């Protein structure tokens, strides 16, 4: 879905709903320059403001009705100083992990303008995740309005350096103090910002551990939702992979223990010597990644055959060994695109292409995505959204 003019207008109207509460401790320009340009890590420094909206379900005696039946409303749109939030120790999110989140970025172009990349897809995905976690959906215009309002307020936080950006983390938490097992009737939406360098850089291919002990999703589970539990469950396998010298974990499907799904926070692509590219199809267990969608469309634009299909790990390893697979890469908002030079597990360890050089297709896709985001490559699909 691209943003049409009506949705664009509604988003701009929604910005007006956000009351701005000034941050008396906001950083000075000099402090800011130091923080944003000095950023070489991911998600450790936070901008001066955050957006907030509150959801309350309508009063009801029948608390076991679903939120769709009970109904409710979002109110109190505000952009407030970034700071600790206060919730009850009994808040449902702290006990049952009822929360969902998103990840986007704001980019500063050479002319100083600030842009978002396909933010309407973050809005629809937040609501798809919310639906799976029995959280209320947030109107798309409020989501987009919050991003525009808070990024505008923090425009000085978007790094000038083209290799950096302002990471945007919108999230919904079940804040109702209630220990019973039902969907919470009070929910808070926040959007916080953090100047970042790329999570991983597309300089040299990295090694990936294919997990055969741990799985991140199952049929009917929450794999396709961007919810904290999936990421908490990926921390231990990630630690094991790091301890073996690998950068990330590639997960297989839990039912067959055979089909490639995705990395803990990125989508997977394999490039074949005959020129075609394969990526696991969206099977309801993997995230509908915005970068994945964009890569698929760009490959098509480039006249490259892209198959969204089932990729068995046994065949993939054989194809790597026989030289049929010449490149592999992972992609996501945080890391953009990065090359994979090795896949290993308990029973294989195979090198893909030249271990020291990023493959041609990987590099070309990386440059196209980053170029579109930064305004140096024509945005023929109208993916970029100007904030200011």
Ligand X SMILES: Cc1ncc(COP(=O)(O)O)c(C=O)c1O
Residues near ligand X (CB under 6 A) are 103, 262, 265-267, 287, 289-292, 332-333
Of the two residues 153 and 294, which places its CB atom closer to ligand X in the complex?
A: 294
Q: Which is nearer to ligand X, 127 or 267 (CB)?
A: 267
Min dist CB 292 to ligand X, Å, is 6
> What is the smallest separation between the CB atom of 263 and ligand X, expressed in angstroms?
7
Of 290 and 352, CB closest to ligand X: 290
Minimum CB distance to ligand X, residue 372 (Å): 14
Asked if 317 contacts 350 with a C-beta cutoff of 8 angstroms, the reply is yes
For residues 88, 18, 153 and 336, what is the CA-based torsion angle, rounded to 10 degrees? Answer: 70
Give least dist CB 234 to ligand X, A.
8
**Choice between 79 and 168, CB closer to ligand X:** 168
Q: Is the CB of residue 298 less than 8 Å from the CB of residue 361?
A: no
Half-sphere exposure of 357 (CA within 13 A, CB side): 7
Closer Cβ to ligand X, 55 or 246, answer by number? 246
**Nearest distance from C-beta of residue 331 to ligand X, angstroms:** 6
Q: How far is the CB of 103 from ligand X (least distance, A)?
A: 5
Report, in Å, the least distance between residue 312 CB and ligand X.
20
13 versus 239: smaller Cβ distance to ligand X: 239
48/262 with CB nearer ligand X: 262
């Amino acid at each position: 879905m691209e943003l049409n003019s009506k949705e664009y207008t509604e988003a701009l109207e929604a910005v007006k709903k956000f009351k701005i509460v000034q941050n008396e401790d906001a950083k000075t320009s000099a402090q800011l320059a130091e923080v944003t340009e000095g950023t070489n890590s991911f998600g450790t420094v936070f901008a001066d403001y955050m957006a907030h909206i509150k959801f309350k379900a309508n009063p009801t005696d029948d608390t076991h009705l679903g939120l769709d039946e009970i109904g409710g409303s979002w109110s109190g749109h505000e952009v407030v100083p970034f700071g600790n939030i206060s919730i009850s120790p009994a808040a449902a999110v702290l006990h049952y992990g009822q929360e969902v989140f998103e990840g986007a970025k704001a980019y500063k172009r050479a002319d100083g303008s600030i842009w978002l990349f396909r933010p309407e897809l973050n809005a629809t995905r937040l609501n798809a995740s919310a639906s799976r976690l029995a959280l209320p959906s947030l109107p798309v215009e409020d989501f987009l309005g919050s991003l525009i309002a808070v990024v505008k307020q923090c425009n000085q936080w978007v790094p000038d350096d083209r290799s950096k950006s302002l990471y945007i983390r919108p999230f919904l938490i079940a804040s109702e103090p209630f220990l019973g097992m039902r969907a919470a009737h009070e929910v808070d939406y926040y959007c916080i910002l953090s100047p970042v360098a790329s999570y991983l850089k597309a300089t040299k291919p990295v090694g990936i551990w294919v997990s055969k002990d741990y799985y991140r999703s199952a049929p009917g589970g929450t794999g396709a939702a961007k919810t904290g539990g999936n990421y908490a469950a990926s921390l231990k396998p990630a630690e094991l992979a790091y301890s073996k010298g690998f950068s990330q974990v590639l997960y297989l499907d839990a039912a067959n223990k055979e089909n490639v799904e995705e990395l803990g926070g990125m989508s997977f692509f394999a490039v074949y010597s005959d020129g075609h590219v394969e990526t696991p199809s969206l099977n309801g267990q993997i995230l509908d990644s915005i970068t994945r969608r964009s890569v698929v469309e760009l490959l098509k634009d480039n006249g490259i055959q892209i198959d969204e299909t089932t990729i068995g790990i046994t065949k993939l390893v054989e194809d790597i060994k026989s030289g049929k697979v010449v490149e592999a890469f992972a992609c996501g908002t945080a890391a953009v695109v990065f090359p994979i030079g090795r896949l290993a597990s308990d029973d294989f360890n195979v090198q893909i292409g030249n271990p020291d050089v990023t493959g041609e297709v990987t590099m070309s896709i990386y440059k196209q995505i980053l170029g579109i985001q930064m305004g140096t490559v024509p945005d023929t699909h109208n993916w970029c959204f100007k904030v200011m």
